[in-house]
Amino acid sequence: MSLEKEKGSSILTNELLARSQRRIMVFYVGGTIGMKKNEEGSLEPCAQYLTREMEQMHELQSSVEIAPFDVIEYEKLLDSSDMDHTDHLRIARDIAKHYDAYDGFLIAHGTDTMHYTASALSFLLNNLAKPVVVTGAMVPLAEPFNDARRNLIIGMMIASNPKICEVCVFFNDSLFRGNRCDKVSHSYAAFKTINYPALGVIEASRFVLRERLLLSQPTGGMSILSDLSGRVMHFDLHPEADVDTLLVLLSKKVLDGIVLSVNGVGHLKGVVAAKARAISRTAAAHNVVVSVVIRELRGCLARKEAERIRHLEYGALAYVGDMCASTAQVKMAYLFGKGLSPTEVARQMPLNLRGEVTPIPAAPGSKM
């Protein structure tokens, strides 16, 4: 029997009724979203401001699409430009601490490294069965004209939706898989999804969730299996790149792995190819994992090109598919942080663990 009921002008469906029985935990960790202007007109963190506003915003309190919620504000508000794996781990552990008591989580966060945090949470929260929505704003809630209010309200609607069981970023008008987006501009549309469609968009006057694109419900219990302790460096390979310094680092064994951004496979006799071979030889000699990503934001190498990197010319280098460079760094730190061997980390880097990568396409004409 349908549980449809009239409440004011809204029709309460089974799912919406169920939302009022759910509960969301909000962590305000820092960022512009809750900042205020000081006397000189510069933005600065303002303790308790966002928390108090959220507790009073009638849109959050009275919408049938938003479950009741509690807010925990970090005592020292973090600027995301300074956040590292210790902070990512802290947020993951805070979610784990409240995981059984809440049905969804919203992280109010700075924009500068929001995509790193979302990626890190996507790997850390193994068997996640509830929505974790990361959002922020370019203009704080305290300003008369801002994107904070909308990002918060829609973010809370998404965090209240039981169909989602993954880490997402909501920003401007789109919901992105957390490990598939990047900050691309200093505007309201600061984030874009890379190599995977948006999980949801605002169409005309409503938010449409594309359910077929979502990760499916896991079977086991949620747990954190890594401390992100891998020592990973991102290195941009181009003709002027200072590879000699990198070779010194590799031979001193101060790194577990490198994410190497390249422009393409390159000419085998070229300067860049010679640098790549030197990196490969030294990394192999010191057991350092080298995962290759391409610098272009969209697209990926064909299988034949990927195999040229792996097997023929560069030995230890392995192309890991259409992952964002930021996601590749976080994933490598995650895999080493699980205590895996370099061989196992190299094997798992191109595998799809959390929807972060598309299997490498077959070369035209090849039998795959």
Helix (H) or strand (E) holding 293: strand 289-294
DSSP helix/strand/coil, 188: coil
Amino acid letter, residue 301: L
Active site residue 135: no
- Select the residue interacting with ligand ASP from 24, 25, 27, 80 (CB under 6 A): 80
Amino acid letter, residue 71: V
Q: Find the part of the chain contacting ligand ASP (CB under 6 A) among 78-86, 121-129, 286-294, 315-323.
A: 78-86
Residue 190 CA to residue 300 CA, distance in Å, equals: 23
Residue 185 sits in the site that holds ligand ASP (CB under 6 A): no
- Select the residue interacting with ligand ASP from 22, 25, 31, 337 (CB under 6 A): 31
Residue 174 marked as a ligand binder: no
Active site residue 117: no
Residue nearest to ligand ASP (CB): 110
Residue 111 marked as a ligand binder: yes
H runs (alpha helix) in the chain: 14-20, 49-56, 58-62, 85-98, 114-124, 148-159, 243-252, 271-285, 303-307, 325-337, 342-348
Smallest distance from the beta carbon of 186 to ligand ASP, in angstroms?
Answer: 9
Q: Among the options 32, 193, 282, 327, which is catalytic?
A: 32
Scan for tokens 């919408």, then name that residue.
Answer: 63
Smallest distance from the beta carbon of 112 to ligand ASP, in angstroms?
Answer: 3
Q: Find the part of the chain contacting ligand ASP (CB under 6 A) among 74-82, 249-257, 316-324, 355-363.
A: 74-82
Binding to ligand ASP, residues 110-149 (CB under 6 A):
110-112, 136, 138
Residue 153 CA to residue 159 CA, distance in Å, equals: 10
Which one, 111 or 282, has the nearer CB to ligand ASP? 111
Which one, 71 or 279, has the nearer CB to ligand ASP? 71
DSSP helix/strand/coil, 257: strand
DSSP helix/strand/coil, 178: helix
Pairing mode, strands 167-171 and 174-177: antiparallel
In the annotated binding site for substrate, the residues are 80, 111-112
In the annotated binding site, the residues are 80, 111-112
- Contact residues toward ligand ASP (CB under 6 A) are 30-32, 79-81, 110-112, 136, 138
